[in-house]
Amino acid sequence: MQLVDPKKRGSRREEPEPALYAALVDSMCQNFWPMFIGSVSTAVAAVLTALKTGNVLLWPCAALIIGIGTLRAFQMRKYERRTQVLTFEQAKHWEPRYAIGAMVYASVLGVWCFLTIFGNDDAIAHMICVAATVGYTAGGAARNYGRPKLIQYHILLACGPMSLALATHADFFYISLAALLALFFMGLKGINLSLHAIFVKALTSSFREAALAGQFDTALNNMPHGLCMFRADGRLAVMNHRFSEMMNLSEDLIQRSASANDIVAACIASNSISAASGKMILSEIVNTQARDMITTDPDVARGRSLSWTFQAMEGGGAVVLVEDITERRNAEARISHLARYDELTALPNRVNFRDEIGRLLAVQQGAEQLSALLFVDLDQFKQVNDTLGHPCGDQLLCAVSERLREMLRPEDFVARFGGDEFVVFQQNVHSPDDAAGLARRIVDRLSERYKIDNHLVEIGASVGIAMTSRGVSADTLLKNADMALYRAKADGRGTFCFFRDEMAQVVESRRILELDLRKALANEEFELFFQPLVNLKSGRISTCEALLRWNHPVRGTVSPTDIIPVAEDMGLIVDLGRWILRKACMECMKWPEGVSVAVNFSPQQFHQRDVLSEVRYAIEVSGLPANRLEIEITESSLLRNTQLTHDVLSQLHSLGVRISLDDFGTGYSSLSYLHNFPLQKVKIDRSFLEGIDSDRPLTLLRGVARLSADLGMSVVVEGIETNEQLELISADGAVTEAQGYLFSPPVPAVRVRQLLNASHGRRPPDSQLIPVSSRSIA
């Protein structure tokens, strides 16, 4: 709060402010008795001078003095009878009346003095009229400090003619008296002015104080806190409305400046604080030491929390502030609940669970108790979410949490870690069998049907179990159970698995593999091998498939089947795939013109946003014609985002790049893929060759090959290892190309170049067919 200093309002002489003006007028008009006595004295003096001098002219003067004096006395009496504080408007009404009366009275006094002194040597009469006028003027100067101009006019009108008349006597003493009176009147004027200044100053500061008090009052009564101020003697000095309202107190406590004791007793009586809290509050007020405390309403229904702050005041006494913090506390409680509980299922969340089992483990350490931590993961939950929508998924999660809750004993503890992950802490088990029993029951119970919004839903559950051991931490236990869960899922889901130490080693070696892979890409430790695909009609190598190799100094040659899934999980596949694509295109540029390169794309790499620009860039940078590049994708790449996949394939096709469907027959083997997507080649997986010498697999293989050929696609059979296999697959002419160890295993780039030279460079076209009996070209 800021107060404006009136001094700063500018030095220009201004009309007083309305309130000040009214107060100044009021100061003049309310002196009935002094003025009445002065008027009576002057009237008596006038009569005396008329009697003493016998001057008839003085009688009318005496009559006027009495008459005007009486009128003014009536006027002032009337003024004093008013009951209200003088307003500015009323002051403007009263001031001219008073001023006119004063001026007329002063003029009559002036005339009377002049007539008494001029042309008359009666010293007694002179003395009477001088004494009466001087006395009246002095009284007036003391009364009229409110408007100094009035007294100045009075001196001029009443005392001026008197001094003039004295001076006309041409006597040294008369002249001296006139001069002395002039000096006296000047002094009187000075006194009057200084009285005025003092009065104005006092009024101004009282106004300021009143304004200040008003502002404080407004502030106090509008603040959200309740406030009480106690003096050093423990009596109430200030209490704002908010305090009395919060504590339900009556106004009379304020009126009679009650003691701290009374106030606290009244608070207890109104049920706003308990007796115990009241005792503490009282002792804080008495001790007057800065402190905070929180009280709760004894009235449980109201459930109010109040925060009390005590502050000592300089010179004794205390200020007490009270704030209603109920809403804040409720909000804090809500926030802390949200931070520690899952909003959907109301189960404890990860943080809460971790803290809780940390605490339980610490307690159990001493007691040598065995407990189990079961990590539960729902199988096929994602499908429910995807097909029935998230609201149904949410309901399913609630139903799962309900079933879990029902199955547990009161001392067990279940939490949701987010998604479809739940964790159970089973306390005080006798042996791992107890945990296995619970895990089995959980798997069975959660696999029972759910009815969600008229849908019958079936899901499964996998459980990873970690048993507590001496000194195990909550984090380790959770990590172990998670590893066991991973194993349970890998074992075919719908089952449970205990954590074993080897699992940690697997995880650790995987972690090291990840680190190594990152380094390998940065250090270009990878190499591309190439395996030829032989055209069965021409016997020539038509394409070479790029296959990733990693020559690790310690691990030796690492298979791409080990590298690719890890790189996919790490998100490294995009960078790695980019490197493979560019390298393969550049290598192909070194081969005879008719030979293409085939590059494997993993689903993640194929579905990256800028796959098209990646391919375009690789072609441009290497200078390879687009029709010499084949991209091998698997059926899993076709599963996702069908329309988008179709578009990407079409665009790649329009670039001139060919697309092969790799490993056909190992996945969904949906014939609709062959029909719906723009594919140019089908590579039938080598698993089709198993048992090929019997009828059924051969019929199947031939059927797929024929169908693909009829759809206009080239057909490749992978994994040809023997001449017999080759003869069987090539018999009916539907298979166009073959790939396998029979021709060549994957070989380094240098070696494949030699093979290509041998296949394309040296022999004339007619003699390029590789004899069936000696197919191996490696």
Pull the structure tokens for residue 125. 């009469």
CA dihedral 86→87→88→94, nearest 10 degrees, is -40
651 vs 666, which CB is nearer to ligand C2E?
Answer: 666
36 vs 617, which CB is nearer to ligand C2E?
Answer: 617
Pull the structure tokens for residue 632. 């091998």
Of 26, 516, 663, 737, the one binding Mg ion by CB under 5 A: 663
354 three-class SS? helix
Of 76, 662, 684, 698, the one binding Mg ion by CB under 5 A: 662
Which residue from 375, 405, 412 is spatially nearest to 498, judged by alpha carbons?
Answer: 375
Pairing state between β 305-312 and 450-452: unpaired
Dihedrals phi, psi of 269, to nearest 5 degrees: -65, -35
CA distance 199 to 196: 5
With CB cut-offs between 5 and 8 Å by kind, which of ligand C2E, Mg ion, none does residue 531 bind? ligand C2E
CA distance 642 to 741: 35
DSSP 45-98: HHHHHHHHH--TTHHHHHHHHHHHHHHHHHHHHHHHH--SPPPHHHHHHHHHHH
Q: How far is the CB of 683 from Mg ion (least distance, A)?
A: 5
166 vs 631, which CB is nearer to Mg ion?
Answer: 631
Contact 423, 357 (CB under 8 A): no
Q: What is the footprint of Mg ion within residues 713-742 (CB under 5 A)?
A: 718
Q: How far is the CB of 600 from ligand C2E (least distance, A)?
A: 3
52 vs 552, which CB is nearer to ligand C2E?
Answer: 552
CA distance 363 to 428: 12
R_g over Cα of the chain: 56
With CB cut-offs between 5 and 8 Å by kind, which of ligand C2E, Mg ion, none does residue 32 bind? none
- Type of residue numbered 501: D
Binding-residue total with Mg ion (CB under 5 A): 5
Binding of residue 630 to Mg ion (CB under 5 A): no
Q: How far is the CB of 537 from Mg ion (least distance, A)?
A: 22
With CB cut-offs between 5 and 8 Å by kind, which of ligand C2E, Mg ion, none does residue 746 bind? ligand C2E
393 vs 665, which CB is nearer to ligand C2E?
Answer: 665
Binding of residue 600 to Mg ion (CB under 5 A): yes
With CB cut-offs between 5 and 8 Å by kind, which of Mg ion, ligand C2E, none does residue 560 bind? ligand C2E
DSSP 459-504: -EEEEEEEE--TT--HHHHHHHHHHHHHHHHHTTSSSEEE--HHHH
Residues of the shown chain interacting with ligand C2E in the complex, contacts defined by CB under 6 A: 531, 546-548, 559-561, 564, 580, 600-602, 632, 662-663, 686, 718-719, 721, 739-741, 746
Binding of residue 412 to Mg ion (CB under 5 A): no
Beta bridge partners of 521: none
CA distance 619 to 601: 15
496 vs 529, which CB is nearer to ligand C2E?
Answer: 529
Q: How far is the CB of 774 from ligand C2E (least distance, A)?
A: 17
Q: How far is the CB of 663 from Mg ion (least distance, A)?
A: 4
CA distance 87 to 155: 29
Piece of 469-477, 596-604, 703-711, 743-751 that binds Mg ion (CB under 5 A): 596-604
Contact 113, 43 (CB under 8 A): no
Q: How far is the CB of 554 from ligand C2E (least distance, A)?
A: 20
Q: With residue 579 as reference, give the H or E element that holds it.
A: helix 573-588
35 vs 619, which CB is nearer to ligand C2E?
Answer: 619
With CB cut-offs between 5 and 8 Å by kind, which of ligand C2E, Mg ion, none does residue 482 bind? none
Dihedrals phi, psi of 567, to nearest 5 degrees: -60, -35
Q: How far is the CB of 359 from ligand C2E (least distance, A)?
A: 48
Q: How far is the CB of 544 from ligand C2E (least distance, A)?
A: 12
Site residues (CB under 5 A) for Mg ion? 600, 632, 662-663, 718
